[in-house]
Amino acid sequence: MVLLLHGFPSSSRMFRNLIPQLADAYHVIAPDYPAFGHSDTPDRAQFTYSFDHIAEVIDDLLDALVGQMSRDLAFRSSCANTGL
């Protein structure tokens, strides 16, 4: 898996030429930060627009991705062990 994070101000669109080059060999994820690119723009009353908070959002994304990868690997391992 390859995670591509864009800069400020920018969007995942900056990777439009790179993603196809990586996609044959990797699962490529290029998220847009909240209020950037194609992502939603949360109401300021409900979302703190700061570098620290956006870092927390990305950290939560990484936790979710690693958790999913761990579950996928465990499933594949159990399938291999049972001959599925």
Tens digit of pLDDT for each residue in 13-57?
999 999 999 999 998 999 998 888 888 899 999 999 998 998 899
Q: How far apart are CA 27 and CA 72, in angstroms?
A: 13
How many domains are there within the chain? Answer: 1
The domain containing residue 38 runs over which residues? 2-82
SS3 category, 28: strand
Q: How far apart are CA 77 and CA 37, in angstroms?
A: 37
pTM of the full predicted structure? 0.69
pLDDT tens digit sequence for 48-81: 999 899 889 988 988 888 877 666 655 555 555 5
